[in-house]
Structure 1
Amino acid sequence: METKVIAYLKRIGIEGPAAPTLDTLNRLQYAHLHHIPYENLDVMNGIPISLEIERLFDKIVTRGRGGYCFELNALFGWLLESLGYQVTNYFGRFWRDEEVVPSKRRHHILQVELDGAKYIVDVGAGAASPRWPLRFAADIRQAQQEEAYRLTRDQKFGWMLEEEKGEEWRAIYSFTEEPNLAIDYVTTSYWCSTNPESKFKKAAMLAIRTNEGRNTVGGNEFRIFNAQGVTVFIPDSQENYKESLRQYFGIEL
């Protein structure tokens, strides 16, 4: 196993052999979501986003940062391929928290084929990322502890990933099965990271799963979810903001 793969596995708390099995795939996605945060701080700070694997490895593995979907799923896809998985890259239209039809496809999704079955794999959807890969099959409720997801077919937009909220199913993102190359994401990522109209330029967005629940940030507001409920606070200084990033997301700026 090459040195970079070992370093990546160590970054997400996994040691030892990682044979390309479904059990390993489940462990990899779960561990990734608990160790590497979704975050757009470089975008907010005007730092250019690179999707080159060497640059992503340096940022996420060596320097201990996170990223947004184009970064996280690009590097995770590289890890899976390095471990022997068959990976196909999809483009998605992100519907969660949108009141109208999203005008741009702006989400990177991974599909993994394993032992004759297909799975949707995603470590880049922020707080909406399922804990484990989802079986790529229509109209099956897939429970993951207290959460549940399903994939349905939409006449206009292809496949739709939905999450169960009470008695309702709410859309997370849609996608089609057209394979994409790494270069296909570059233009959209550039728009998302530089255009003033991009939601990624408007407010900080962070999310990471924890053993107790999850931690998120929207703007300056930190939300710490656990079994007792949610704690909400806004750091009262830049120093405390940086300390909160370190404490709740493992991010050192």
Structure 2
Amino acid sequence: MQGSIDLGAYLRRVGWHGSVAADLATLHGLAVAHVAAIPFENLNPLLGLPVELDTPALERKLVHDGRGGYCFEQNLLFAAVLRTIGFEVSGLIARVLWQHPEDAVTAQTHMLLRVELEGASWLADVGFGGQVLTGALRLQAGIEQPTGHEPFRLLERDGEWRMQSQVRGQWFTLYRFDLRRCEMIDYVVANHYVSTHPASRFPSNLIAARTTADRRMSLLNHEYTVRRLGQEPERHSLRDSAEIRRVLEEAFLLRLPVHAGLDRRLDSLPG
């Protein structure tokens, strides 16, 4: 994967104060800060704009321009940050099963990270939208691991791993993957599919998410939802492009792109 970035600018973007080091506290802390500051969003595919994965483009968009992105953008940026600090990082690729049957055969369209630290392997993933991992998981099967939000766990069978989170007392699989290191070209191909193919959700739906210490916020077209642990979800129906713009800017902290067709595209979203 690609090289280093302006670490100081990134730390300012995520609101990190103090020093960083290649240790577990930094890995956990940066993952939490990242998902609170840099939202998941798919405005580029929605507007028919390219999604660039080279490090300068990621830094420009997610760090300097106040934008967000989806898994490939988020985790490639996070990998560059971790590598700049001194972590040993490799990329994996997964088949999403969230809101699919357990035996579904889906394409490899999700990126996550493997981090080697102090003789152990950890998984980090700042790019899974509304059910994003807040922190890092030890690469160990069959144990419940606490996070700042729901508990997570990993299951393994015959070399296939499943990432699960517990929602309202029930375990749900987010995705399945193996531990083979993924090459950059595989992310480029998967990124092209999810950003342009008509079978992908991203070119035809607005999706955004942001997770803070006390809530998960998500947006699917006109429906804005806020989830807090132990409480019923708050659902808000947004009427038009003006209300969607306001939520994107205020709840998701997005600096919206200057695009002549943005309002027209937001008004045409499926109900």
Q: Which TM class, normalised by the smaller chain length?
A: over 0.9
1:148 to 146, 151, 155: 151
Q: Name structure 2 gaps, 5 residues minimum.
A: 257-271
Structure 1 contact 91–109 (Cα < 8 Å) conserved: yes
Tell me how large the CA RMSD over aligned residues is.
Answer: 1.7
- 1:169/1:236 CA distance change after superposition, 3 Å: closer
Residues 241 and 146 from structure 1, CA distance in 2 versus in 1: closer, same or farther, beyond 3 angstroms?
closer
Q: 2:85 pairs with 83, 86, 98, which one?
A: 83
CA distance in 2, matches of 1:3, 1:170: 35
- What corresponds to 1:237 in structure 2? 240
TM-score, normalization by structure 2: 0.87
One-letter identity of the residue aligned with 2:254: I
Deviates more, 1:95-104 or 1:214-223: 95-104
2:183 pairs with 1:181: yes
Shift of 1:180: 1.6
**1:112 corresponds to which letter in structure 2?**
V
Q: Could you report, residue by residue, the CA deviation over 1:53-82 in whole angstroms, capped at 9, with x for unpaired residues?
A: 100111000001110001100111010001
- CA contact 1:29–1:132 (8 Å) conserved in 2: yes
Q: Deviations over 1:72-99 (max 9, x none)?
A: 0011101000100000110111100113
Deviates most, 140-149 or 229-238: 229-238
Q: Find out whether 1:115 has 2:143 as its counterpart.
A: no
1:207 match: 209
2:136 corresponds to which of 129, 133, 138: 133
CA distance in 2, matches of 1:90, 1:146: 23
Q: Normalising by structure 1, what TM-score?
A: 0.93
Give the corresponding residue for 1:34: 36
Give distance in 1, aligned partners of 2:73 and 2:5.
20
Q: Residues 49-60 of structure 1: matches in 2 within 5 Å?
A: 49-60=51-62
Query: Size of the alignment, in residue pairs?
Result: 251
- What is the percentage of aligned positions where both structures have the same residue? 31
Deviation at 1:122, TM superposition (A): 0.4
Q: Is the 8 A contact 2:162 2:175 kept in 1?
A: yes
65-74 or 206-215, which deviates more: 206-215
Give the Cα separation in 2 of the matches to 1:20 and 1:32: 16
Contact 1:69 1:107 in 2 (8 A): yes
Match of 1:198 in 2: 200
Question: Is the Cα contact below 8 Å between 2:222 and 2:239 reproduced in 1?
Answer: no
Contact 2:42/2:202, CA 8 A, preserved across alignment? yes
AA partner of residue 220 (structure 1): H
Q: Secondary structure at the match of 1:171?
A: strand
AA in 1 matched with 2:198: P
Greater mean alpha carbon deviation, residues 201-210 or residues 228-237: 228-237
Give the distance between the partners of 1:247 and 1:63, measured in 2 at CA: 16
1:104 and 2:104 are equivalent in the alignment: no
TM-superposed CA distance for 1:127, in Å, is 1.5
Match of 2:22 among 20, 26, 33: 20
